[in-house]
Copies of this chain bind each other. A is one copy, B any other.
Amino acid sequence: MSPNRQALLLSSSNCHGYSMLEFAKQEICSLLQSINVTNLIFIPYAQMDYDKYTAKMKEVIEPWGFKVTGLHTYPDPVDAIDSSNAIFIGGGNTFLLLKTLYDNNLVKLINTKVNSGNLVYIGSSAGTNVATKSIHTTNDMPIIFPPTFEAIGIVPFNINPHYIDVLESATHKGETRDQRIAEYMEMSHAKPVLGLREGSILHIEGNKLTLKGIAGAVLFKAHEKKIEYPVGSDVSFLIFS
């Protein structure tokens, strides 16, 4: 693991009271500026309309001073990632995203480049799920069958993005988010789950993990009560999950 590796895992792109990605603007800009990124490759695989999704991201991020190019516009995605120094994987459907990353032989490549400090990783929502050990704690519907739930594995634990601990409605009998996560924690293969509230960002710098953004996170571990971590918390201990 290179001490130079850098990643920002966002709970979501949208957050109540902010325009798209606004809550994360400062973190994204200072990270990209620190390594002199001029061209950010956007991976739109979590949605179906790559052009439309990329256009939306360009509209938000290019005014910040970085050129945004959709990975689908390059002749070969592996070559494109190989010669790039920063990627942004957007949200949508986690199953569709993971399957498409595997279909394009990008999972191992991204892991290796990020962990060796040669590729900055920014992910949001589904793009955050696929950065972790596995997609076991996505909120998305399993709309397409991926070859495995194992993912890029930049961190050895799981993340639940868009974490929220309220009921869908007082009279609805579906499971709450905490009940869903508890079902996972009963599995023998379960890892700790970091629930990122909307507006929360996990910053990874080498083996240092810090909570940034404007909202905190909640940690679930097997046989333990959940623990709240406010913005600014050092959660580097999770590297040893």
Contact = CB atoms under 8 A, between A and B. Distances in A.
Given A169-B164, A172-B198, A174-B162, A138 B142 contact: yes
A61 to B, nearest CB: 18
A144 B187 contact: yes
B141 A181 contact: yes
A66 interface: no
A149 interface: yes
A240 interface: no
Contacts of A141: 136-139, 180-181, 183-184
A76 interface: no
A143 B183 contact: yes
A128 interface: no
A187 B187 CA distance: 30
Interface of A: 12, 14-17, 48, 92-93, 95-96, 135-145, 148-149, 162, 164, 166, 168-169, 171-175, 180-181, 183-184, 186-187, 189-190, 198
Given A136-B141, A164-B169, 12 more contacts: A12-B174, A15-B173, A96-B187, A136-B143, A138-B141, A139-B174, A140-B180, A141-B184, A144-B189, A162-B172, A162-B173, A164-B172
22 contacts: A12-B173, A14-B173, A15-B173, A16-B172, A96-B183, A96-B187, A136-B141, A136-B142, A137-B141, A139-B141, A139-B174, A141-B181, A141-B183, A142-B142, A142-B149, A143-B183, A144-B187, A145-B148, A145-B149, A162-B174, A164-B169, A164-B172
